[in-house]
Amino acid sequence: MRLLLFVAATALIVYALPRTDERHYSYEINRPWGYSLITAPFDIPVHLDSISVRAVKDSLDASFVPVYMRDSRVEEKVIQEYKSRLAAAGHQTFTPAEQAMLERRVRQLFSDGIVDQSTYSQISSGKLPYVRFIANNVARSVSTSRYRSPRKAYAWLDSVLAAPSYHQAIEKSGLHSLLAANVLPDSAASGRLLGELYQKAMAPIGVLQQGERIIDRGDIVTPQLYTVLKTYEAMSIEKGTGRVSGNVYPFLGQVLYVVLLLSALFAYLYFFRRRLYRDLKVILLLMLLITGFTVFAFIMSKTFVSGLYMVPFTMVPIMVLVFFDGRTALFSHLVQILLCAVISSFVLEFVFVQFLAGIAAINSLKELSRRSQLLRTAFFVLLAYVVSYVAVEVMQTGSFGTVSTRMFGCFAINAVFISFAYVLIFVFEKMFGFTSVVSLVELSDINNPTLRELSEECPGTFQHSMAVSNLAAEAARAIDADVQLVRAGALYHDIGKINNPAFFTENQHGVNPHDALDPVQSARVVIGHVTDGVKRADKAKLPGVIKAFITEHHGKGKARYFYNTYCQAHPDKDVDPAPFTYPGPNPQSRETSVLMMADSVEAASRSLKEYTPEAITALVNKIIDTQIAEGLHNDSPLSFRDVQTIKQSFINRLRTIYHSRVAYPEDPRKPDTSVSGA
């Protein structure tokens, strides 16, 4: 399964890696050239750079005189329509002489020229003093001073023909709605002439001779060099000198690159995190995260400019940190960014910026117990991005002027994505059955239904669990174990006692049900709280890490009180310890070992007759040394130093709990109210 996951991840990543038939370079204006020396393999024409091209085009656009044409049909159409409307209106008072005058004025309007409103606005603002007309391939410029818009033409006609009869004729015929432009823009001719001007103005300004140096590593890509490089790439494709499709080595190199990085991750897990390596769900999660974010990064880099910097790579170490540990999170993050570095235009910048962002995420989020911590992490990641990007940019270019504000926008989008990691953590937690610190904090809430039932049915056990939780958490903090896990596990370790609360000393009130049972039956009831606890945990859907505290807090130890009682009652019999032995297993982790010690120490401390430092120290040493001698902690990764630290933590805590109190003196001025005094 591990091999299958490895192969599947490699195949998906290699498949998503960008491939092209041409040799491809990634570069940007005002950034250093990241490749080796390039010399011209053939003569390369040198064109104007993009900035100069834009300036030339702006100049040509500003001075260009557009081409227009006259449509004579508009004039005749308007005259004929005007006459037919006037005849249909039956206007008797309008004389033929007046009609001829009106027709002459209309023809004069069209002779002067009527243009559309947009053209007239340009004429009025002084932007279009002349237009051109082309006839027989000869262009001539014409002043636009006499041109009018349809509205202005109607106003002029109204002003020169002031008699009421003219106004009535114009109104009856609806002449105002008939006036239309007869001088129209010739877009095709204008575009053709402007294109010819562009072509002449942007002709090559020089030639790079074959063998001449184009650019070398570290050179700044100026706008002029950028244009030369684009011309070089286009000509290489055209001439076929830049094709690499017949060479299988680039593909094999990509496969080897991905295999080595994923192998490094697997080797790390095998040698340093064997517990994680054995868990297939862990391998599946890591491969899913790394492969998914890598493919997503490839898609973003193709879709958006600087899209690679919008990808929230730090979500990978955040989720690995929440579920596992910081060292694994950092290693996974390094593998992730090295996989994606192959598509970055500037590898040094990308790796440096992403590495520092990952460090900021891991260090600012030691454990995720509140949603607000993700917002804080997002802020620190954004700060790391900005500072590291500016540092690399200034180092490479020697100027703050090349710092791109677009990159700051990409970093801000990245930080926003990070704040949504909480949702992704919840999804993966439910999918894979892992337990995050957030879930442990929620489980530690005493209003949880299971804990509330424990406090109501077994108040003594609940108080014992609370005391064990505090005692164990203090010791876990001292040895740098998972404090939140120990605290939550301790609260639930005795939930099996809910089934038979009266059979446990802390819940009894003078009546002991064990008095009516023989030691074997009593041991069976007491030992049963472990299996009962597991059943309750399954019913409450508690995570596996909490169930481990229920099954391992007694390990394979004995119900010693009932075992010793039975031995005393049968001194001549060879007693089988099996009926008095808990099902186990023994503690498998540092956290469950701490709980076993804390559980026994807390319970035994209640039976002390005096709470002197010597008595507490002797009790702690005796209980823990006995457990170690019986081999109950043999499967735990605790060290001798951890054991000594745990002992000292217990001693200090118990001394604080059971410290002697100061007797308050009586006030001598207060009257004696005792019986003898009375």
Residue owning tokens 């499967």: 635
Q: Helix or strand or coil: residue 384?
A: helix
The token pair that represents 136 in the structure block:
């027989």
The helix or strand, by DSSP H or E, that contains position 592, with its residue range, turns out to be helix 590-605
Q: In this model, does residue 68 exceed pLDDT 50?
A: yes
Average pLDDT over residues 648-652: 94
3-state secondary structure of 520: helix
Predicted confidence (pLDDT) per residue in 454-511, tens digit: 999 999 999 999 999 999 999 999 999 999 999 999 999 999 999 999 899 888 887 8
CA distances from 308 to 49, 289, 299 (A): 27, 16, 9
Is the model's pLDDT at 84 over the cut of 50?
Answer: yes
SS3 percent helix, strand, coil of the chain, rounded to 5, is: 65, 5, 30
Mean of the per-residue pLDDT values of the chain = 86
Please give the average per-residue pLDDT across 133-152, as a whole number: 88
Cis peptide preceding 312, ω within 30 of 0: no
Query: Which pair of tokens denotes residue 358?
Result: 């990952």
pLDDT of 208 reads 80
Q: What pLDDT, on the 0 to 100 scale, is given for residue 23?
A: 56
Fold adopted by 461-657:
Hypothetical protein af1432 (1.10.3210)
Share of the chain above pLDDT 70, in %: 93
| Helical axes 96-112 vs 72-89, angle rounded to 10° | 150
pLDDT of amino acid 74:
87
State pLDDT tens for residues 350-389: 999 999 999 999 998 877 667 678 888 999 999 999 999 9
pLDDT value of residue 663 = 54
According to the per-residue pLDDT averaged within each range, which of 94-98, 335-339, 571-575 is highest? Answer: 335-339
pLDDT at 339: 94
Q: Minimal CA–CA distance to 477: which of 642, 622, 657?
A: 642
Question: What pLDDT score was predicted for residue 92?
Answer: 58
**Is the per-residue pLDDT at 245 higher than 80?**
no
- Res 289: pLDDT: 94
Do 491 and 546 form a contact (C-beta atoms < 8 A)? no
Q: What residue spans define the domains of the chain?
A: 24-47+209-243, 68-185, 249-432, 461-657
Q: Higher model confidence: residue 334 or residue 420?
A: 334
Q: How are beta strands 130-135 and 138-143 bridged, if at all? A: antiparallel
SS3 for 86?
helix
Which of 435, 618, 460, 633 is closest to 553 using CA atoms?
A: 633
pLDDT tier at 525 (50, 70, 90 boundaries)?
A: very high
End-to-end CA distance of the chain: 88
Q: Minimal CA–CA distance to 594: which of 496, 495, 485?
A: 485
Span 13-17, mean pLDDT? 89
pLDDT at 676 over 70: no
At residue 21, does pLDDT exceed 50? no
pLDDT-derived band of residue 678, with 50, 70 and 90 as boundaries? Answer: very low
What is the mean pLDDT of the segment spanning 652-677?
65
Cβ atoms 497, 450 nearer than 8 A = no
Given this model, what pLDDT does residue 247 score? 58
Q: Is the pLDDT of residue 199 over 70?
A: yes
Over its C-alpha atoms, the chain yields an Rg (Å, rounded) of: 44
Least confident residue range of 40-49, 523-532, 649-658: 40-49
Q: Under a CB-based contact definition with an 8 Å cutoff, are residues 306 and 343 in contact?
A: no
Distance CA 493, CA 594 (A): 12
Residue 664: pLDDT band with limits 50, 70, 90: low
Query: How does residue 667 score in pLDDT terms, banded at 50, 70 and 90?
Result: low
pLDDT in tens, 248-260: 777 888 899 999 9
Residue 514 pLDDT class (50, 70, 90 cuts): confident
Mean pLDDT across 38-56: 81
- The closest of 608, 485, 507 to 552, measured between CA atoms, is 485
Does the pLDDT at position 46 exceed 70?
A: yes
- Please tell me which residue, 108 or 220, carries the higher pLDDT value: 108
Kindly report which listed range (21-25, 176-180, 490-494, 592-596) carries the lowest average pLDDT score. 21-25
Query: What is the predicted pLDDT for the residue at 435?
Result: 83
Confidence of residue 677 (pLDDT cuts 50, 70, 90): very low
Three-state secondary structure call for residue 22: strand
pLDDT band at 432 (very low <50, low <70, confident <90, very high): confident
For 296, the token pair is 């997503």
